[in-house]
């Protein structure tokens, strides 16, 4: 009996074991552990930066190919299946799980950093640096990032809903591995998925608590320390565990819709009280610069200018590794909420809508912060989690904006953790779409406990480094997932007889006219 239980829950116990080791290292020897992970992270970014650049752009090209191909007609589910969620809720949920808290955290801070702290190309504080700040921020948070999420989400949704397989990443390799995907190789892949998800969400909880604390400290003078951050994590844990137990159709869906309303409201007010014309001027010009330099940025490795490589390692390569390491969690979640969509609809919406929202977001809050910096108000001296609140402090109704931002970070915090507990519980129960509340509660408490323990020990940065390290082997898995997916899609394309050629052509001299029908 014990052997059967161990076999059935092998991935669950192995994941817990690996996570326990990592957390203990972060507690017992935080500084040596951080130095080791920093060393490995730096070696990876220096020696494999070219690989990340090629891979992420290759993933994007692959997604575009599927959109334009006849394969795009295939539905993620049975031929007659309908979407489970309306389009607005679907977009809100994917946005909340994918990047929500990061947008609030970096919305004002990243363009400011590229302009006044560490610039990608031009001298600090110059107008060229200001222009670069926006196009590189769009690049980091735009279509490349969502392509990484989209391809994992597509593979899981296709095999889960279309092929009626278990909702596990290992299953997506069946066209290449056959039954071996159920063996040790599959278990290793599923274990990496769980470990990457836990590390990613635990670090996000830690940084999210830091930003909420930063806002409360800036507004109300509440002490900005680990004790306050722990209280924040405990309160939000209780809320997201309650939400998780209510299921996807209630908790996450309702909170995600609230997130979208709050985000749009904050954005609208910021546009009105900020330099409105400048916001839209910056956005319009920067979109042009982003499109004009799209391929140059995609493949930029500074091979002929080593002085710029440090910036690429710190930002672009870091982000690409970060999105890859987060893709198991976000991919599983996006897949789960996308039943009934066609491949073309799925990829088009996942790639474009969050990208457009991100562009508008960074244009607005980046303009607010960089305009102040350009006018002589030094915001670069503030910690990242305080930049947004320091920016609001210089505009009309700044306290109200800051208060809304704190609420928004909190709700994004809850939905990210809520989504993660569902995903982890599902993976722990062998891909069960309706995991038990008991597993959700266990994972919810574990996520928060890890975040709290590492905040106290100072091991949060080491865990973040570990996530970047995990991204390297997982990036190899992604390549095989794409090959496997393409093989199976081509098989189905032949079976269905999908073609790009039109079924009927107009007769000579008798063109089709809608107004004559």
CATH code (residue 405): 1.20.1740
* Section 50-66 average pLDDT: 95
Give the pLDDT confidence score for residue 1 in this predicted structure.
Answer: 47
Task: Say which DSSP state 179 is in.
Answer: G
**CA atoms of 77 and 338, how far apart (whole Å):** 9
Question: Of 4, 288, 347, which is closest to residue 146 (Cα–Cα)?
Answer: 347
The whole-number average pLDDT for the span 409-419 is 78
Rounded (to 5) percent helix, strand, coil in the chain: 80, 0, 20
Contacts made by residues 257-262, CB under 8 angstroms, sequence distance 24+: 257/88, 257/89, 257/92, 258/411, 259/92, 259/95, 259/96, 259/100, 259/408, 259/411, 259/412, 259/415, 260/88, 260/91, 260/92, 260/95, 260/96, 262/404, 262/407, 262/408, 262/411
Task: Tell me the pLDDT of the chain averaged across its residues.
Answer: 84
Q: Are 29 and 459 in contact (CB under 8 A)?
A: no
Q: Give the total residue count for the chain.
A: 517
Q: Give me the half-sphere count of Cα atoms (radius 13 Å) on the Cβ side of residue 26.
A: 28
329 belongs to a structural domain: yes
Is the whole model's pTM more than 0.75, yes or no?
A: yes
Q: Is residue 193 part of a domain?
A: yes
User: Within a domain: residue 376?
Assistant: yes
Contacts of 50 by beta carbon, 8 Å cutoff, 6+ apart = 301
pLDDT in the model for residue 411: 80
pLDDT, greater one: 457 or 233 = 233
- Judge whether 387 lies within some domain: yes
- pLDDT category, 372, cuts 50, 70, 90? very high
Would you say residue 16 lies in a domain? Answer: no
Element (H, E) at 219: helix 184-220
Predicted local confidence at residue 328, as pLDDT: 83
Residue at 418 is within a domain: yes
Q: What is the DSSP letter of 118?
A: S
Q: How many structural domains compose the chain?
A: 1
The rounded distance, in Å, linking the Cα atoms of 405 and 403 is 5
Q: What are phi and psi of 225, to 5 degrees?
A: -150, 180
List the domain range (segments joined by +) for residue 82. 56-302+310-493
**Mean pLDDT confidence for 205-211:** 78
| Residue 21, in any domain of the structure | no
Q: Give bridge partners of residue 342 from the DSSP assignment.
A: 75
501 assigned to some structural domain? no
**514 has a pLDDT exceeding 60:** no
Residue-wise pLDDT tens digits, 421-437: 888 888 888 777 777 78
Q: Is the pLDDT of residue 268 over 70?
A: yes
pLDDT (tens digit per residue) in 63-111: 999 999 999 888 988 888 888 888 888 888 777 766 667 788 888 899 9
């Amino acid at each position: 009996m014990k052997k059967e239980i161990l076999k059935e829950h092998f991935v669950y116990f192995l994941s817990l074991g690996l996570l326990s080791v990592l957390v203990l290292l972060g507690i017992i020897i935080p500084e040596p552990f951080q130095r080791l992970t920093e060393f490995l992270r730096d070696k990876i970014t220096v020696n494999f930066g070219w690989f990340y650049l090629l891979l992420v752009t290759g993933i994007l090209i692959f997604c575009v190919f599927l959109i334009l191909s006849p394969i795009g007609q295939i539905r993620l589910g049975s031929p007659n299946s309908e979407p489970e969620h309306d389009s607005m809720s679907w977009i809100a949920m994917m946005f909340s799980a994918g990047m929500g808290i990061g947008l609030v955290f970096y919305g004002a801070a990243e363009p400011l950093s590229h302009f006044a702290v560490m610039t990608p190309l031009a001298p600090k504080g110059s107008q060229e640096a200001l222009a670069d700040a926006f196009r590189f921020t769009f690049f980091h948070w735009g279509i490349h990032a969502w392509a990484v999420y989209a391809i994992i989400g597509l593979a899981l949704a296709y095999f889960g809903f279309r092929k009626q397989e278990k909702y596990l990443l290992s299953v997506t390799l069946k066209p290449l591995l056959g039954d071996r995907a159920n063996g040790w190789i599959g278990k290793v892949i599923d274990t990496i998925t769980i470990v990457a998800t836990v590390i990613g969400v635990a670090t996000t909880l830690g940084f999210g608590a830091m930003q909420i604390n930063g806002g409360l400290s800036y507004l109300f003078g509440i002490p900005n320390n680990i004790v306050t951050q722990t209280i924040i994590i405990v309160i939000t844990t209780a809320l997201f565990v309650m939400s998780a137990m209510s299921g996807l159709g209630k908790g996450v869906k309702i909170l995600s819709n609230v997130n979208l309303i709050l985000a749009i409201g904050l954005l609208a007010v910021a546009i009105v009280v900020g330099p409105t014309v400048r916001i839209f001027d910056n956005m319009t010009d920067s979109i042009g610069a982003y499109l004009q330099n799209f391929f140059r940025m995609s493949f930029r490795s500074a091979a002929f200018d080593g002085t710029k490589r440090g910036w690429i390692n710190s930002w672009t390569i870091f982000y690409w590794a970060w999105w890859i390491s987060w893709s198991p969690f976000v991919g599983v979640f996006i897949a789960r909420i996308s039943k009934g969509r066609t491949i073309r609809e799925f990829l088009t919406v996942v790639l474009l809508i969050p990208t457009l929202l991100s562009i508008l977001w960074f244009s607005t809050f980046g303009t607010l912060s960089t305009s102040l910096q350009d006018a002589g108000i030094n915001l670069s001296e503030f910690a990242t989690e305080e930049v947004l609140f320091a920016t609001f402090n210089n505009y009309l109704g700044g306290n109200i904006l800051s208060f809304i931002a704190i609420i928004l970070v909190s709700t994004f915090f809850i939905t990210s953790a809520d989504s993660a507990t569902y995903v982890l519980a599902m993976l722990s129960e062998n891909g069960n779409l309706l995991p038990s509340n008991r597993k959700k509660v266990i994972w919810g408490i574990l996520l928060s406990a890890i975040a709290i323990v590492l905040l106290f020990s100072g091991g949060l940065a080491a865990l973040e480094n570990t996530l970047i390290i995990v991204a390297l082997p997982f990036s190899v898995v992604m390549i095989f997932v794409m090959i496997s997916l393409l093989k199976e899609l081509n098989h189905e394309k032949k079976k269905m007889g999908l073609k790009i050629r039109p079924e009927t052509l107009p007769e000579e001299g008798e063109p089709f006219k809608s107004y004559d029908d």
